Amino acid sequence: MDDKYALKSRFGKYGGQYVPETLMTALIELEREYEKAIKDEGFIKEFRYYLKEYSGRPTPLYFAENLTKKLGGGKVYLKREDLNHTGAHKINNVIGQVLLAKRMGKKRIIAETGAGQHGVATATICAMFDLPCEVYMGKEDVERQALNVFKMELLGSKVVPVTSGTQTLKDATNEAIRDWVSNVDDTYYVIGSVVGPHPYPTMVRDFQRIIGDEARAQVLEKEGRLPDYLIACVGGGSNAMGLFYPFIEDKDVSIIGVEAAGEGVDTEKHAASITKGSLGIIHGMMTYLLQDDYGQILPAHSVSAGLDYPGIGPEHAYLHDTGRVSYVSVTDDEALDAFQMLSKLEGIIPALESSHALAHLVKMAPKTKKGDVIIVNLSGRGDKDVYQVAEILGGRKDEK
Amino acid sequence: MKSKITKKFEELKGKDQKALITYITAGDPTIKDTEELVYSMEKAGADIIELGIPYSDPLADGPVIQRAAQRALENHINIDDIFEMVKRIRKNTEIPLAFLLYYNSILRYGIEKFIENCRESGMDGLIIADLPLEERIGFKSALKDTGVDLIPLVAPTSRERIKNIVEGSGGFIYCVSSLGVTGTRSSFSEDIEEFLGTVAKYTDVPRAIGFGISNPDAIRQLKGYCEGVIVGSAIIKKIEEGIKDGTHVSKVQEFVSELKSAVLE
């Protein structure tokens, strides 16, 4: 690996391993096994095999001509992660981690999920490899995302509703960690984003960098040069880290992460950890998070369940501090507008998460030059969201 | 300077006794109750008391202590209230007190301010559930010469880490009985003797076993392997049972007396 901070436990001051002692030996073992695996050609070959044959990679870098014309600025390319099997980038990481779990001889898989995309991806891969899988999901999300719950059960996984705390992703993650503390000998915990204690943020990024590696080669082929802008949404931040990472050293590429502003960053209902958060510890990592004056973690809010997380991956916190990546935020309403815009203009229904990246594109593209090249990470498809969006938009029509 | 915790273990050793360490969450159900519970547990024979600082995301705790934290947080208990309470307690008793908490509570409050308030209010020890060896270096040096012990946790999975974890420790070594979060266990691992033996190989600091000790029988089973036993969730359950009719303080006192008898047998 040529990565300059590969397998260091921190990104600047962020990251680390703030977990109960019971887990430390398991984290050290994971780090050691992961380090061996990524240097093993056989492992990399197997990982790439499943990405290609099972998930359908490489995903296209699609020139969105209609959107480009409408916005009147630079050329817009969409990295079509929505075309992966199970409908989002999440599966890249799950294939990597479950292959690692198998290699380590683990007999049982657990995962957390918010909206259910990571849960469905994990249930899918566990079905293929015939591994028992339990997915922790906040009770509120279980009710909001009934279709994904059904999918996970259909795939043979057990969905465990979490009733502690705010009953959402943050609490599902706590509960998965508690399970892992109790069953650490035979259980592998598949974390769904670039969050958690070291080595997870590094490992998940490495499994997701395929997005950026492909995009880089594709844009060089289509445009003969690197892009001027990269845009991706950031909840925990795995799709963004995956796209950004291979471009970090390319100083002429402007990189923008888009957080969920919910009902506005000046309200209490948002998920903008970098824009409005402060230094703290969540899920074993030091990073920016939403918390009160005494360090109690505050509930996040976003129309998009996948961005509804009060923390952010530690590498993003670092890239914010160094200024390499700019972090901005867009509101629920702006994301909903972008959701409809892409559907009508390009015939692609984006996930509400990815709609945040698109909403920022809508704001900034008109200010870019005609010759500029912009890549937006279309991290997932919106099939899972159409019912929710129909309810919100239907409600608005009724109000009018 | 010897801490009150160290002195307590020395005193008990002189009497050939094991320490009974009891845990409650500060502010559950109110701060006033916590103060009363401290006095009544001392009366019933608790040697050292752990006070949990309620946290929104207690990932090392099982459902019982999670509920205790939730009750306290619903009453908007914060660390300042808890320090004020400790000052009041210190006017009435010298029983050794340790906080059990999560590192974010300290980090957000401010490390220096937190340590200063521990000293001023008369706290004797800190048990930080999510600050393992790798992350404690800076905090440990900030605690140096303050008279406040950083009490380390060792787990059955710690193995070759034990030596470094216990090095330079004060107060006692918190030995986690088995895998998992806090809460009741029906049985303990047969390896516990070997585990506790390994700890003793590397330190003379007293060892206390916690996690899952819920009744006098468990104390009888484990007390031969250590210098102290820790009971938490089982006490919180007594509080839960008594809240409705206001008998929680007497229920806890009665239960701690039973535990003490098992310790003294």
pLDDT digits (tens, 9 = 90+) for B21-35: 999 999 999 999 999
Cβ of B155 within 8 Å of Cβ of A22? The answer is yes
Chains A, B: CB contacts within 8 A come to: 117
**Strand pairing report for B207-210 and B228-231:** parallel
Which of B157, B174, B186, B189 to mutate: most A Cβ within 10 Å?
B157
Tokens for B87, please give them: 């000052």
pLDDT at residue A1 greater than cutoff 70: no
Cα–Cα distance for residue pair A189/A159, rounded to 1 Å: 15
- Tell me, what DSSP letter sits at residue A157? P
pLDDT at A3: 44
pLDDT at B189: 76
Contacts for B14 with CB less than 8 Å, ≥ 6 apart: none
Query: In chain A, which residues have their Cβ closer than 8 Å to the Cβ of B58?
Result: 174
Domains and CATH numbers, chain B: 4-264 (3.20.20.70)
Mean residue pLDDT of chain A comes to 95
Cβ of B57 within 8 Å of Cβ of A21? The answer is no
> Band of the pLDDT at A400, cuts 50, 70, 90?
low
* One-letter identity of residue A203: M
Q: Which strand ranges, in their side-by-side order, compose the sheet holding A187-190?
A: A158-162, A133-138, A108-113, A187-190
Cα–Cα distance for residue pair A244/A246, rounded to 1 Å: 6
- Tell me if residue A379 is catalytic: yes
pLDDT at A398: 66
Phi-psi region of B84 (alpha: psi -120 to 50; beta: other; left: phi over 0): alpha
Distances (CA, A) of A42 to A36, A132, A382, B152: 11, 25, 35, 41
Q: Measured between CB atoms, which of A22, A26, A291 is closest to B108?
A: A291
Cα–Cα distance for residue pair B104/A18, rounded to 1 Å: 9
- Tell me if residue B130 is catalytic: no
pLDDT digits (tens, 9 = 90+) for A193-230: 999 999 999 999 999 999 999 999 999 999 999 999 99
> Band of the pLDDT at A6, cuts 50, 70, 90?
very low
pLDDT at B187: 76
The three-point CA angle A131-A137-A139 to 5° equals 140
Tokens for B49, please give them: 């008391």
Using CB atoms within 10 Å of the CB of residue A213, give its burial: 0 to 12 exposed, 13 to 18 middle, 19+ buried.
middle
> Band of the pLDDT at A4, cuts 50, 70, 90?
very low
pLDDT digits (tens, 9 = 90+) for B203-248: 999 999 999 999 999 999 999 999 999 999 999 999 999 999 999 9
pLDDT at B2: 87
Share of chain B above pLDDT 90, in %: 93
Region A108-126: what's the mean pLDDT? 96
Region A338-366: what's the mean pLDDT? 98
157-186 of A, contacting B, C-beta below 8 A: 164-165, 170-171, 174, 177-178, 181-185
The SS3 of residue A233 is: strand
pLDDT at residue B145 greater than cutoff 80: yes
ipTM field: 0.96
Three-class SS of B54-112: CCCCCCCCCHHHHHHHHHHHHCCCCHHHHHHHHHHHHHHCCCCEEEEECHHHHHHHCHH
pLDDT at B1: 73
Active-site option among B28, B42, B47, B61: B61
pLDDT at residue A135 greater than cutoff 80: yes
pLDDT digits (tens, 9 = 90+) for B164-215: 999 989 999 999 998 889 887 777 877 899 999 999 999 999 999 999 999 9
> Band of the pLDDT at A252, cuts 50, 70, 90?
very high
Tokens for A201, please give them: 């943020």
Using CB atoms within 10 Å of the CB of residue A186, give its burial: 0 to 12 exposed, 13 to 18 middle, 19+ buried.
exposed
The SS3 of residue B233 is: helix
Whole-structure pTM value: 0.96
pLDDT at A5: 41
**Which comes out higher in pLDDT, residue A114 or A82?**
A82
Mean residue pLDDT of chain B comes to 96
Q: Measured between CB atoms, which of A18, A182, A294 is closest to B108?
A: A294
